[in-house]
Structure 1
């Protein structure tokens, strides 16, 4: 039960003060004039002014409330190192028992695990959430049982009471970690990319000078190097293939270190070509030749050499050779000496005219068998006696001409096999494609027929020869699509895919297996020309294997989602196809810094004069301290009693009721009048 005087003024305080000044001025005037009733006038004015403030005696019936102590227990991955978890649990249980034994004190225990994804330890987030659920006026103290390694310090709340860190870990702890300081997402094939690595020892390390570094690409046998500890090492690496390259760096676990979870790092780099070198050989100028040229020149990553036969040997116009403005084309240099420098050779309506000797074309055949690519865009010349097929190239072409040229309109269509082939799959609705007006009749010898024309005759045939690739397009009318004839068609997409497939871009392989990672989930993708594929064998980082069945999501594309149980390198295999993928970082955020430290939390703790106490020195005692006083000392930590209460009932008694105000004020006024009247 408590009581106090409260005021509920009838007028604003400024008005009451002004009336008090007027009353006081009247009293002073009476005193100056020698009126004997001035004391009575003073008391009358004082009573009237006081009545305007309406003073009351307020009496409250209060019930005291207990103090609340918040105890945040860190159970993240870094707390599971060595004996930290058991030390934390024992300290938390003992501390909880001590606080519950204190009079008028409650405890709230908040346990914090690993954050979602790789966000690390979210201590301040958990503390802010807990404080939002409790009245700030009742919080007497905050205890953090942790190694001090948190990752959300910017979310630290405004503290209402002292906070203390009871820190796990030992002075003798040490750890070795591998750091990749720069890792590009893309790198150019054939050119070294420099990665900067560092092997760092933290804590009470034994002081070793160097250690072994293992490097493996796509899960292959690792190469071993010796690197210094505590120094940046620049490592030039040349990617072995296009597409995703998974590079794993690791250093062996040293005796006595806290964990080996941060002794490895995964780097995933996409290999891309710097420049695609293309040789375009046009037999004679025509609208399709411009289409090919525009397509290749529109790509800034393509170096194009275009060779057009404008003046064949049989052309006799009497112009002296010395007066021709054209520059002789370096055919020998291109087709004999530097042919291997090209990624793709395109013959566009080319026929034998004696300009390219048979030995040159035979060298083109060897070029394909050794890994090159040739695309033949056939026109009527392909069905003639001078056809390029009547040359050494016939050994690598996937179809032969029947010498028939079909001059009638037709709509190109994707074959059943073409719907599964990455070059022609998913190109849109064929019903909306415009017609072509000419087709060369072909008799397939091998390869895959992915598009058909008149009466389902082969129109586009793809084949692999040796280590290279060959494509034969049985029409020179693809340019009609680019001109928008009858609505046009996906000509640009078709020719670009065709060129990239021939240059062995990984995303256009017919038989391929790869995975796309999102956090700890991977989407396993298998592309195949077959109608069915087997289960994919997933080899986890710990060596255990698991079979995953794929489902066909579109023609030739099979997928499945797989949730990786742990972070690290996964190997996938199905038949002859293999792939590797890294899930999450090799060293999660929890293991970037493993040595216990209170440095990060000290600025927050100091705001309320709390303390950092190593549990290695024993659990400190608990004292009650006043607000603003030091809340930690040698072997002890403090709580600030809040003396919070709940008001059960409030009663108010007016000190100057209206009748009393009227009686007193009238008495003093009449008394002053009578006294001064008698005089």
Structure 2
């Protein structure tokens, strides 16, 4: 029960003050004139004013509310290194026991609420927000009335990345800092990294190695930097510490080039989690150079030309042989072609500058000597690409198979030409091969004969196939019962043989047409070694902490996926079928950095998280970042390694920390159960008293 005086004036305060002033003036006048009843008149006026003030005794029945203390534990990744996790757990256990003892005091009830800052996953959507310690404190305090807060205790390494988020707090904030004095570390900071690079050219990477804390002199001079691309070591230069440095890297292939820079960990360093930076450079081809040689004018010639010219990344050199050197009809050469065919320059001097050579219905008529064609075979074996688009001549004596090029061709012509209507079919191997897998064509229903088994029902027919016997490679399409498209690898290069010259019928939309543009585009890009069309590939896509791994294979079904984290932990999962020749597996990455992936045959990498985790920008423990908030609330900053401080209760407004102790303020909050008001000056009584005093004053003065 709590009692206090309460007033409920019957008149406005201004009127009451005016009456008090008039009464005082009247009493002073009486005193000045020597009236003997002035004191009685003063008491009468006081009684009347008291009645108008309407005083009462206010009695509250109160229920005390327990004070609330908040404990925030930092469980972030940086507070788990160098034995800090054990320090944190020990401090939390001792603090919990001390708080339980305080909470048992019936004269000062205390309620304790605990909050925990969990570590971020490897690839959270907001990427790398660091340790949000004060956000956790603010969130926990938002559920409590400010007048009930007794204080807060933060158990942390001091590396809070939201130190400016909370400028004030209604109760003392204490910081118990884990770690030890004299810590040091080194950090690799990525300053600039390109997102794209041209295949075959170099890109420049800017970085800096920093020494943090009380680093020894030997660690502040230089360090050996290891650069890996797709997991393979490509450079290991010695670079200075504390200054910006630059390194150049050559883009070896198109698609994703996963680059990791790392500095080996030295003895005494806190962690190697900030000694590496991982990023991806997408390799793009500046210009793809294609040489198209058409043996004679024909309707399909424009199909190849239009396809290649439509691609802005392709530089096309196209020659059409209008007549052989042996043909003498009297027509001047300058009337037949814009320029003469520079055979030696193209096939001997500059053949290696082309990414792809296409022989479109080419026939052996003495234009290219065998030495030139033999050089094309050498070009393929050393990494080039050749596409043979066959015409009727391929089955006869003028066939390219009767040149040195036969050593690299995947099929032998039988001299038979099949001229009948058929619809191209994708073979079982073709269903798995990326060049032909999933080819579709939406258009009007075809007319004519019913499509044979296995054919796409809405593809138009072709009418010519040069029969070949496959000698190597993979047959991905058939036509009229014979191989239609054979793909092969020769040495470092690739060869494709298309046994028909009727693809142009699809371009013209004959019987609804077909997927000629997509087929020829994929074929050309496979020959030019575009990564997305590799038959055997292991690739990964990262979205937050989720990693999806795709395995493509035309051979055997893959087994189990093994993913190795940057710290060496292993995750194993099974591949699930996702289509012909396609399998997928997914897992959650628990840490940032470069993950190594393998199915036992192929290896790949996945870069999870930001290039340089914010959590480890500076892992050296410190109380400086939180000292401002602690001082503003009369709290303290202490090291756990120096021993756990005593815990006591203090009065509000007093210092809440000292040598070896911290305090929680007594808020003494309460809730009111009932209120009782007892009038102290009833109007009738005060009026009677005032009238009696006035009569006594008149009687005395009347004598």
**Could you tell me which residue of structure 1 aligns to residue 270 of structure 2?**
258
Residue in 2 that maps onto 1:79: 79
Corresponding position of 1:409: 421
Rounded Cα–Cα distance in structure 1 between residues aligned with 2:477 and 2:634: 78
Residue aligning to 1:395: 407
Identify the match of residue 398 of structure 2 among 380, 386, 389: 386
> Structure 1 158/431 Cα, relative in aligned 2: closer, same or farther at 3 Å?
farther
Would the aligned equivalents of 1:624 and 1:641 in 2 still touch at CA under 8 Å? yes
Does 2:138 correspond to 1:133? no
Give the secondary-structure state (helix, strand or coil) at the position aligned to 2:367.
Answer: coil
Alignment partner, residue 676 of structure 1? none
Write out per-residue CA displacement over residues 369-410 of structure 1, whole angstroms, 9 at most, x where no aligned residue. Answer: 222111122234434543434433333222344445444433
Cα drift, residue 458 of structure 1: 1.9
Aligned to 2:179: 169
CA distance in 1, matches of 2:322, 2:648: 100
Question: Normalised by the size of structure 1, how large is the TM-score?
Answer: 0.82
* Aligned position for 1:144: 154
Give the equivalent residue in structure 2 for 1:366: 378
2:445 aligns with none
Counterparts of 1:617 and 1:188, CA distance in 2: 56
Shift of residue 425 of structure 1? 0.6
TM-score, scaled to structure 2: 0.80
Deviates more, 1:315-324 or 1:481-490: 315-324
Q: CA deviation at 1:290?
A: 2.7
Task: Say if 2:461 and 2:511, in contact at 8 Å, map to a contact too.
Answer: no
Offset, 1:188: 2.3
- The whole-number CA distance in structure 1 between the counterparts of 2:505 and 2:7 is 94
Which residue in the other structure is 1:375 paired with? 387
Find the residue that maps to 2:383 and give its secondary structure: coil
- Name the counterpart of 2:60: 60
For residue 476 of structure 2, the aligned residue among 450, 458, 462 is: 450
- Corresponding residue for 1:504? 529
617-626 or 65-74: bigger deviation: 617-626
Find the residue that maps to 1:355 and give its secondary structure: coil
Distance 1:251 1:338, change over 3 A: same
1:554 to 555, 559, 579: 579
Counterpart in 2 of 1:472? 497
The correspondence of residues 513-552 of structure 1 with structure 2, limited to 5 A, is 513-518=538-543, 522-536=547-561, 548-552=573-577
Q: Deviations over 1:320-352 (max 9, x none)?
A: 456777222322211110000111011223333
Distance 1:406 1:505 in 2: 33
Distance across 2 between alignment mates of 1:451 and 1:489: 14
Partner of 2:69: 69
Aligned to 2:117: 112
1:648–1:492 distance in 2 versus 1, CA, 3 Å: same
* Alignment correspondent of 2:305: 293
Counterparts in 2 of 1:86 and 1:513: CA distance versus 1, 3 Å: closer
**Contact kept? 2:207, 2:246, Cα under 8 Å:** yes
CA distance in 2, matches of 1:582, 1:66: 50
- The offset of 1:149, in angstroms, is 0.8
Aligned to 1:32: none
Check the 8 A contact 1:149/1:596 in 2, yes or no. yes
CA distance, structure 2, for counterparts of residue 17 and residue 432 of structure 1: 98
Q: Where does structure 1 lack aligned partners over 5 or more consecutive residues?
A: 28-38, 672-679
1:229: how far off?
Answer: 1.8
Cα distance in 2 between the residues matched to 1:87 and 1:542:
22
Give the secondary-structure state (helix, strand or coil) at the position aligned to 2:437. Answer: coil
Cα distance in structure 2, aligned partners of 1:373 and 1:578? 25
Distance in 1 of aligned mates of 2:331 and 2:55: 123
The one-character-per-residue Cα deviations of 1:563-620 (angstroms, maximum 9, x if unpaired) are: 5676655544456533344555697543331111234334544553544334455555
- The answer to whether the 8 A contact 1:424-1:450 is kept is yes
What is the alpha-carbon distance in structure 1 between the residues aligned to residue 587 and residue 624 of structure 2? 40
Distance in 1, Cα, partners of 2:611 & 2:620: 19
C-alpha RMSD of matched pairs (Å): 4.3
Equivalent residues of 2:465, 2:482 under 8 A apart: no
Structure-2 change in CA distance of 1:101 and 1:463 (3 Å) = closer
Residues 645 and 227 from structure 1, CA distance in 2 versus in 1: closer, same or farther, beyond 3 angstroms? same
Q: Report if the CA contact (8 A) 1:69-1:105 is conserved.
A: no
Q: 1:648 aligns to what?
A: 673
SS at match of 1:601: helix
Which one of the candidate residues 453, 463, 466 is aligned to 1:441? Answer: 466
Change (3 A) 1:597 1:414: same
Deviation at 1:498, TM superposition (A): 0.7
Matches within 5 A, 1:321-360: 321=333, 326-360=338-372
Listed one character per residue, the Cα deviations across residues 179-200 of structure 1 (whole Å, up to 9, x for unaligned) are 3333334332221222223222
Q: Which secondary structure state, in structure 2, belongs to the residue aligned with residue 417 of structure 1?
A: helix
Query: Residues 248, 347 of structure 1: CA spacing in aligned structure 2 closer, same or farther, 3 A cutoff?
Result: same
